[in-house]
């Protein structure tokens, strides 16, 4: 989802409305970026079916880059814990969800009087 968030932020993905819903599609890229997608990545995200890519982009648009990076870090830490400790994987996954979702939305602070 970080790739799609980056694509949205850098205007590589074009926002459009299809059948009354917001959607995204890959736009024209600078040749340098084109080269990175085709040569440096194992799978070019633009090769994905456009419908699925639009769904992932809409989901990525709901998060900030900082939030996605935080979640990615939590997933990596959970993976390390699963392969290097004796903690049951179910517990590791449950803690991962708590860490990722627990701070996702905090209530707004009440106005000072």
pLDDT in 10s for each residue of the chain, 113 residues: 999 999 999 999 999 887 888 889 999 889 988 888 888 888 888 889 988 999 999 999 999 999 999 999 999 999 999 999 999 999 999 999 998 887 655 544 555 54
The verdict on 47 and 18 lying in the same domain is yes
The predicted pLDDT at position 5 comes to: 95
User: Do 85 and 43 share a structural domain?
Assistant: no
Q: Which domain holds residue 49?
A: 2-61
Residue 113, domain member (yes or no): no
| 54 lies in the same domain as 72 | no
Residue 110 domain flag: no
Query: What's the helix, strand, coil split of the chain in %, to 5?
Result: 60, 10, 30
Helices (H) and strands (E) in the chain, counts: 5, 2
User: In this structure, are 98 and 82 located in the same domain?
Assistant: yes
Give the burial class of 7: count Cβ atoms within 10 A of its Cβ; 0-12 exposed, 13-18 middle, 19 or more buried: buried
Domain count, the chain: 2
Contact between residue 53 and residue 26 where contact means Cβ atoms under 8 Å apart = yes
Give the model's pLDDT for residue 22: 83
Question: Whole-model pTM?
Answer: 0.74
pLDDT at position 84: 93
């Amino acid at each position: 989802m970080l790739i799609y968030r980056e694509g949205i932020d850098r205007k590589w993905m074009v926002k459009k409305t299809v059948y009354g819903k917001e959607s995204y599609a890959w736009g024209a890229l600078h040749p340098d970026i084109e080269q990175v997608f085709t040569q440096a990545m194992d799978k070019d995200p633009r090769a994905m079916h456009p419908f699925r890519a639009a769904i992932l982009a809409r989901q990525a648009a709901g998060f900030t880059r900082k939030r996605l990076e935080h979640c990615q870090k939590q997933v990596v830490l959970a993976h390390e814990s699963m392969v290097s400790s004796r903690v049951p994987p179910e517990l590791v996954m449950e803690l991962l969800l708590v860490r990722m979702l627990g701070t996702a939305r905090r209530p707004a602070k009440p106005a000072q009087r």
